[in-house]
Amino acid sequence: MSDLDLAPLRRALISVSDKTGLVERARQLVDASVEILSTGGTLRALNEAGIAARDVSEVTEFPEMMDGRLKTLHPRVHGGLLGRRDNGEDRSAMADHGIPNIDLLYVNLYPFEETVAKGAEEADCVENIDIGGPAMLRAAAKNHAWVSVCTDGEDVDAVLAAMEAHEGHTTLELRKRLAAKTYARTAAYDAAISNWFADTLEDASPAWRAFGGKLAQPLRYGENPHQNAAFYATPENRPGIATARQVQGKALSFNNLADADAAFELAGEFDPADKAAVVIVKHANPCGVATHDDLAVAYEKAFAADPISAFGGIVAMNRKLDADTAGELVKIFTEVVIAPDADEDALSVLSGKSNLRVLLTGGLPDAKQSGWLTKTVAGGLLVQERDTAMISVKDLRTVTQREPTEAELADLMFAWKVVKHVKSNAIVYARNLSTAGIGMGQTSRLEAARLAVRKAEATAEENGWDEPRTQGSVCASDAFFPFADGLHAAAEAGATAVIQPGGSIRDEEVIAAADEAGIAMVFTGMRHFRH
């Protein structure tokens, strides 16, 4: 290793919002003969702990002012971070103007993301936009040939380890890694701020869009073993896979996380105060969904809806997992269970399946909470709002001669919530608040309807039923029927009521077919495509 690769570390500037582990790490730096410069609350915390640290204002000869808005934006700070140690002109300028070398910068930024997540007032959010921190971080990262830049305590630990290994020096490879991490951190920080501004301005398409997140966990691979992958958590405050605590089981895969997210988002559509809901997902699509007063019964109904597909699936629920439900879960192979919480007896039951991944999220996603979804395409990003649209019974418009019964209405509303989370084209049959057949991802709506029936027939055979549960069911379609053939398929399957957006130029033909079959049909005026 050349002398250029190793850089001495003799002076550090520390200014942190999150002071977790600050004193311990600062003490290790002092023990390594590092001089510490600091500011404001960080300086007070260090001094109170008996750690010698100089106020940055002693270096700048300029007082902190404007409630801390102005303290480090000074040439003696930025010059100390940016000065090239091998450049004669830089060294002369630093000597002429009293600019000290700063070899380590440790700054974690004002908690803007956390402030927004707590629902703070606009003024508080603005005050938590860090200016000096990102400026210093970017300067230090640019000068990584000599400066170690740290955005969190783990970075400082890595620097301390390098210093111990190299007699008070850091390696170029480490400094490069820290610089790369720093630019990603400031980018994510600025992304959170710019998106907050866009939201407050109600600007759905700002001139520039950026999204950023923090590594939650590296993944063995992506959808396939030859694809690299990792999971990053965004600043969005939304219970789900990003907030989940894994209490047992193997490491989660890319597909596990995607499916768990799909399952839990659908579970969040159902109010736990009303009924328990269980969702079973396979390959990002629900294969069984049911609600009931009792969680274990809801699971049994969801499983019975498509036991073949449920094998190796992902199970989500909207209530705390209990022992009875856990006892049913462990009867077959399940990849992941995700729930807001679980009692100790349930966890004890699940522990018998050591490979079963169990995620506890601490809450349910709010189906009405706005947010932005992104999809990468060649050369860009597609960005859209989360589909938060909901309807109630009063929003339905009956278009047939027959009105739906109360029981049909309950099943129609249930099926409409489910179809929203099924890949288009999507058809969902439901009976007694559980799915009876689901057709998804087809290139024609007729084929989706036929697929749902075929799956219902296979399920009836698997369960030993006399007939498929599409008999006497209701049918939900995520978009309008372009032709009457889809309605005919629903009638042939045994559906007695249909819910769909309406809006086709052939609506009258479809309505006529429903009337002829004695089917009640309601229009929502709302489409739920999920490509």
Measured between alpha carbons, how far is 163 from 452 in angstroms, rounded to an integer? Answer: 64
Helix (H, G, I), strand (E, B) or coil at 290: strand
Please tell me which residue in 142, 169, 250, 353 is annotated as part of the active site.
142
Query: From the CB of residue 128, how many other CB atoms can be counted at a distance below 10 Å?
Result: 18
Q: Which residues of 47-82 are buried (b: 16+ CB within 10 A; e: fewer)?
A: eeeebebebbbebbebebeeeeeebbebebbbbbbb
CA distances from 406 to 393, 470, 487, 520 (A): 10, 18, 21, 12
Is residue 214 part of the annotated active site? The answer reads no
Measured between alpha carbons, how far is 265 from 292 in angstroms, rounded to an integer? Answer: 18
Half-sphere exposure of 77 toward its Cβ, with a 13 Å CA cutoff? 27
Is residue 375 part of the annotated active site? The answer reads no
C-alpha torsion angle, residues 71, 72, 75, 76 (rounded to 10): 100
Measured between alpha carbons, how far is 475 from 496 in angstroms, rounded to an integer? Answer: 8
The strands making up 11-14's β-sheet, listed across from edge to edge, are 54-55, 35-38, 11-14, 104-106, 148-150
Please tell me which residue in 19, 166, 214, 283 is annotated as part of the active site.
283
Half-sphere exposure of 64 toward its Cβ, with a 13 Å CA cutoff? 15
Nearest C-alpha neighbor of 239 from the set 335, 339, 320: 339
- Which residues on neighbouring strands pair with residue 277, listed in sequence order? 291
The one-character DSSP state at 121 is -
Q: Which residues of 381-391 are buried (b: 16+ CB within 10 A; e: fewer)?
A: eeeeebbeeee
- In total, the chain counts a number of residues equal to 531
State both tokens at 483: 């032709």
* Vertex 464: Cα angle to 297 and 289 (nearest 5): 35
Burial of 150 (0-12, 13-18, 19+ CB in 10 A): buried
Judge contact between 44 and 20, C-beta under 8 A: no
Measured between alpha carbons, how far is 360 from 319 in angstroms, rounded to an integer? Answer: 11
State both tokens at 498: 């249909």
Catalytic residue list: 142, 283
